[in-house]
Chains A and B, each alone.
Chain A
């Protein structure tokens, strides 16, 4: 039997400084890159019409612009029911494949009558956007992307936007060589194709289900 240990007889600390597990006494705040955490998204909720209604929302191109047409479609939930409180936003290149944005390293373009951006709520059961056929845009791999429109969908029941792309069913040869479409399994590509309609194109967004639209992580 050894003598009981005295719990108050604490040995002296070693002579050198302690080190945290990282081996560095400090957070690295001054040596790492400056980084702020991003603000988390939240649902747009059922009352988006209060804050996000614009009289000219649907017009990515001004009324009467030559070559203009409508893209119309529904947003459908997992039961196949129409979502009447969603908002669809679109952003795209002009017919020359340029953007009215200073962030385009080729310079901001100013195509007559063209804003490039539209937003439309689905109150009637459909969204509707008046626009022009986008031109082809470099894909960064030496080729050109097929004409496409970037789409964001917001709704009650979506805690963040979902992002998809509209391609055009009548651009078969361009679609066949598009770098983004090629990353999408063949059987799901039709969910990204707008089909010709009397005053433009139709494009439905299926949030869930067998033919769930292909959504993109951006």
Chain B
């Protein structure tokens, strides 16, 4: 592991900064709500110090047994196509991120969120609240059972529809790794007109789309989609030349 910033005799990891060509920009003109909200000034560089390389430990104690199964609420079965969403949480070095809290939320099968702001004429489902929480296992794996969310209209432009998606929130192990994102389903015909999907640079869009996984479907029960989530790992680019064969034990 390359460790670079010396901090009072401590060596700290420096987390990779993804190239802007592969990172969602803060603002995207076609997504109109960004106009008054996305900051306009250049951000100031913040080298990674102790506050940035540490992060909260939030795990099993925040998760109840039914949190991994969104299809049973209020004593009944949610309406919709059951899907098993599964995958691994990794960092950009390919290492598993174990025991990490994964929070998800989504619309119901009709494309309606159980939220006072969502008032479009599609039915609520009394047996679906759209909230799930899981913790990754020792290998960074996660899985939850839900129903496939419906597409829904929104006010961004005339006849605007959001492609079906599930919201994800992850902490990783360091402040630098915090990620809130959305998972899509393959080949959605609504991608072309969706500014939130298209705000992702073309080279990185496929990373937001899950893969249909026939091998994980459950007979007579549920379809399956696989989605790996990759958080920022430790930057492997040498920060300063390591010379004189220094006895630097933590450089692999």
A residues near B, CB below 8 A? 33-52, 54, 77-79, 81, 83, 85, 89, 91-93, 99-106, 108, 115-117, 137-140, 142, 145, 148, 150, 152, 154-163, 165, 180, 183-184, 207-208, 212-218
Given A41-B24, A49-B115, A159-B25, A102 and B10 touching (CB < 8 A)?
Answer: no
**A42: contacting residue among B115, B181, B201, CB under 8 A:** B181
Interface assignment of B55: CB less than 8 Å from any CB of chain A: yes
Q: Are B180 and A41 in contact (CB under 8 A)?
A: yes
Q: Are B39 and A208 in contact (CB under 8 A)?
A: yes
Write the nearest CB–CB distance from B93 to chain A, whole angstroms: 6
Identify which of A85, A117, A159, A213 gathers the most chain B CB atoms within 10 Å of its CB. A159
- Selected A-B contacts with CB under 8 Å, 26 pairs: A34-B94, A35-B94, A35-B236, A36-B93, A38-B16, A40-B205, A44-B169, A44-B180, A45-B182, A47-B117, A48-B105, A51-B104, A51-B167, A51-B169, A52-B105, A91-B54, A91-B175, A93-B51, A100-B56, A101-B54, A140-B6, A156-B37, A157-B34, A159-B27, A160-B26, A162-B26
Q: Are A218 and B52 in contact (CB under 8 A)?
A: yes
Q: How many A-B residue pairs have CB under 8 A?
A: 255
Question: Which residue of chain A lies nearest to B33 when distances are taken between CB atoms in the complex?
Answer: A157
Write the nearest CB–CB distance from A202 to chain B, whole angstroms: 20
Nearest 6 pairs between A and B by C-beta? A51-B105, A157-B33, A117-B56, A157-B37, A101-B54, A140-B7
Given A39-B229, A103-B53, A215-B44, A142 and B8 touching (CB < 8 A)?
Answer: yes
Residues of A within 8 A of B62 (CB): 54
Identify which of A35, A102, A155, A213 gathers the most chain B CB atoms within 10 Å of its CB. A35
* CB contact list, B88-130 vs A, under 8 A: 90-94, 103-105, 113-115, 117-118, 129-130
Given A48-B105, A100-B57, A152-B178, A39 and B50 touching (CB < 8 A)?
Answer: no
Write the nearest CB–CB distance from B42 to chain A, whole angstroms: 8
Interface assignment of B73: CB less than 8 Å from any CB of chain A: no
